[in-house]
Structure 1
Amino acid sequence: MKKAIIIVLDSLGIGQLPDAHLYGDDNCNTLKNISDHVRGLNLPNLEKMGLGNLTEVTGVVPQINTLGSYGKLAELSKGKDTTAGHWELMGIITEEAMPTFPNGFPDELISEFKQLIGRDIIGNEVASGTEIIERLGKEHMETGFPIIYTSADSVFQIAAHEDIIPIEELYNMCKSARKLLDGKFKVGRVIARPFRGLPGNFVRTANRHDYSLKPPKKTLLDTLIENNKEVISVGKIYDIFAGEGISKSYPTKNNMEGVDKTISAYENLQEGLVFTNLVDFDSLYGHRNDAVGYAKALEGFDKRLPELWEILDENTILILVADHGNDPTTPGTDHNREYVPLLIMGNSVQKNLNIGTRSSFGDLGATLAEYFNVKYEGYGTSMWNEIKKN
């Protein structure tokens, strides 16, 4: 009765990929640059797992004796967004980057969206979510028109004050947009961005909801379900995979609740996978260029790691990984094209093993398939024979 826990430390990149310059991402290294900015990170538990062995991290010392195996993954998919990163972890390579809209969405698309929702819109530009709410929030409250914006990622975001456009109505707008955004306008995610407060003091709420494309092919998650394993998602994993290959889902409001629900889900798991995304690193700190906040969030997660170690039984492996970078010390507020860490531990996993740089995020999906002894139809090469104890 094998079990696994994957925790995605959303946006924790560890250095630019060879093609990062094609994405405008020279000199990005989310982890290293944060550690330099705050003059040292206090991450003793991640240090024990080998995080400091993967890139230079101020305050985190490389270890000779690590609690498990460690390495880094390169992304093959085009782009640097959440959806492509998670999909590749589970075996799907995105051959063509999902469309982005650096000049806002075309008139024909916006016109059709306005007809669907029965009202005008404001915005329709590339913007930071917090900045555009502060700038257009008052007008939104006066007119009732939703704020439409995008970013360097393939996203169509709809921001609305919860007292002006109730949550369910905002969600229905997102569902209308999701149906519309197909074909040449097939964006990766439609995102509801509700907020509250008064002009000058707006605050985004925890009622965010993502409406993703359905994966174009079967992922490891589907295969696990077909083989009578449970797949329990925590955080926005359910949204990223549009519910495909998920048997139970637990939404979260922040990282610490994500850890709590991961522990709870695991304690009720008979056989299968708990798949967690901790989004605060990306949404609250990476996108807001808040290196200090990012550092504190990493240290907060590090303090919770022993709780996860303590609950692992002899038939469980714990995997820490990321999906892209988001270096808060570089210009701009968008994702970065970076390698991501891979830290794996458990009773059946070798300690002190450097598994090097893997050519695809998909190697994780292939490894889990062999671990669970299920047929793998996705992209990637299994590492299981390398990392398992003999």
Structure 2
Amino acid sequence: MRALCIVLDSVGCGHAPDASAFGDDGANTLGHLFERIPGFALPSLAGLGLHEVLHDLDPEFPLPSPPLLPGAQFTHLTEQSTGKDTTTGHWELMGAPLEAALATFERFPDDLVSALEQAGNCRFIGNEAASGTEIIQRLGTEHLASGKPILYTSADSVLQIAAHEDPAVFGLERLQALCRTARRILDEREIRIGRVIARPFVGSSPETFKRTSNRHDYSLAPPSTILNRLEAAGVETVGVGKISDIFAQSGIAESHPTTSNADGMATIERLWREQRSSPHLVFANLVDFDMLYGHRRDPTGYAQALIEFDRWLGGFLADFHAPDLLLITADHGNDPHHTGTDHTREQVPLLTLNAPDDLLTASDFGLVARILEDFFTPTASWTR
């Protein structure tokens, strides 16, 4: 018995009912790509019901003629937690909705910054809400000259620190140690920031500065999730990409970090071909949609990344058979046609193969956890 859950990071399907409270009225990551990218098509996802999901939310969206794959079922999910970030979305997908929003800042309080500087033996520059690529372009030269790490945040509940990977400037190990220190201080002060993110970069000038794949997230410890329940029931939980980071390793028995969508897809395929004697869940996050194209407002790149995933998925599905369970969903939106550079408050698709019939209805993100609960431990009673 095995299941695969893939989170297409930021692939939303239309603004949520409360999107106006987040400044995201009209956001529609997938809808706008289909509407504005000539020839854009995702036939493998269409075979799982993607067009039907988009049509349910927008009756003018055309339905495709190809039939659905046998065992395919679909719906859309609406987030109940207050937020539109990776942590909030993933936690609710795994059955842990947040009753109170995680903390966000336009700039961090002076006393917190002083504590971070003292504990980390450094001085920061920045301390503002900014796009990660933009602030590195703007402050990277000062960082090279001074060795001072760049502190910044965004509309999400994150504390981000950028520094050059060269040890002569700052170094990757020192950056990660500083971020671990920041996580500890936030937890000691009970400041509920979802993630501390190490953002290493390389280059010698604004024209050559580039973030690397050595990013690392240090998450707030989550409440109990379906991952903990499955682990206790003897189900192997295998994280791919940044899943282990998002859940602070809680409920994740085995982790496989990745450097890109392509690496993530190859890792999923390799793990799926392994012969494991115990029941297991492979839980993957593919982050390039969000990190490389959504935040950078690059619709062409976003569309191409989806096409590449869809092409891979078509080959992967040729060897996917019942009773194995497949779930494909997202954690929030990041419409590359929307204003700003932040996530967008959107509903998300849920596309499945071999899911239980009676559970597939429009619902909150926690439906994913309930499906996993029913699949692996059908006699257990689900409680939120």
TM-score interval (norm. to shorter) = over 0.9
2:318 is paired with a residue of what secondary structure? Answer: helix
CA distance in 2, matches of 1:171, 1:60: 48
The equivalent residue for 2:173 is 168
Amino acid at match of 2:372: L
CA distance in 1, matches of 2:181, 2:34: 42
For residues 191-270 of structure 1, the aligned pairs below 5 Å read 191-199=197-205, 200-216=207-223, 218-268=224-274, 269-270=276-277
CA distance in 2, matches of 1:130, 1:310: 39
Are 2:305 and 1:297 aligned? yes
CA deviation profile, 1:59-85 (whole Å, cap 9, x unmatched): 974457312001101100111110010
Are 2:369 and 1:370 aligned? no
Distance 1:45-1:121 versus aligned 2 partners, 3 A rule: same
**8 Å Cα contact 2:237/2:280 also seen in 1:** yes
1:31 is paired with a residue of what secondary structure? Answer: helix
Q: CA deviation at 1:317?
A: 1.1
Distance 1:376-1:116 versus aligned 2 partners, 3 A rule: farther
Q: CA deviation at 1:377?
A: 5.0
The equivalent residue for 2:281 is 273
The equivalent residue for 2:27 is 28
Amino acid at match of 1:174: C
**8 Å Cα contact 2:116/2:185 also seen in 1:** yes
The equivalent residue for 2:11 is 12
Which of 182, 188, 199 is matched with 2:194 structurally? 188
1:181 is paired with a residue of what secondary structure? Answer: helix
Distance 1:112-1:365 versus aligned 2 partners, 3 A rule: same
For residues 1-390 of structure 1, the aligned pairs below 5 Å read 2-55=1-54, 61-62=63-64, 65-67=67-69, 68-102=72-106, 104-163=107-166, 164-182=169-187, 183=189, 185-199=191-205, 200-216=207-223, 218-268=224-274, 269-270=276-277, 271-346=279-354, 355-358=360-363, 360-373=364-377, 375=380, 378-379=383-384
Distance 1:301-1:59 versus aligned 2 partners, 3 A rule: farther
CA deviation profile, 1:228-283 (whole Å, cap 9, x unmatched): 11011000000000001111100000001101101111222441100000000000
Q: CA deviation at 1:151?
A: 0.2
1:311 is paired with a residue of what secondary structure? Answer: coil
CA distance in 2, matches of 1:114, 1:144: 13
**8 Å Cα contact 1:35/1:59 also seen in 2:** no
- The list of structure 1 runs, each at least 4 consecutive aligned residues, that deviate by more than 6 angstroms after superposition, is 57-60
Amino acid at match of 1:286: G
Identity level (%): 47
CA distance in 2, matches of 1:60, 1:101: 41
Unpaired segments ≥5 residues, structure 2: none
Q: CA deviation at 1:48?
A: 1.0
**8 Å Cα contact 1:91/1:378 also seen in 2:** no
Amino acid at match of 1:134: Q
CA distance in 1, matches of 2:261, 2:48: 20
Figure out how many residues of one structure are paired with residues of the other and give that number: 372
**8 Å Cα contact 2:161/2:199 also seen in 1:** yes
**8 Å Cα contact 1:47/1:60 also seen in 2:** no
2:32 is paired with a residue of what secondary structure? Answer: helix
Q: CA deviation at 1:357?
A: 1.9
| Stretch of structure 1 that moved more, 32-41 or 335-344 | 32-41
| Stretch of structure 1 that moved more, 175-184 or 67-76 | 175-184
CA deviation profile, 1:36-94 (whole Å, cap 9, x unmatched): 23134121111111111111599974457312001101100111110010011111010
Please report the RMSD computed on the Cα atoms of aligned residues, expressed in angstroms.
Answer: 1.9
**8 Å Cα contact 2:359/2:371 also seen in 1:** no
CA distance in 2, matches of 1:255, 1:168: 25
Q: CA deviation at 1:309?
A: 1.1
Unpaired segments ≥5 residues, structure 1: 380-390
**TM-score, normalisation: structure 1:** 0.91
**8 Å Cα contact 2:237/2:253 also seen in 1:** yes
CA deviation profile, 1:117-148 (whole Å, cap 9, x unmatched): 11111000010000000000000000000000
Q: CA deviation at 1:306?
A: 2.3
**8 Å Cα contact 1:41/1:60 also seen in 2:** no
**8 Å Cα contact 2:157/2:193 also seen in 1:** yes
Distance 1:255-1:241 versus aligned 2 partners, 3 A rule: same
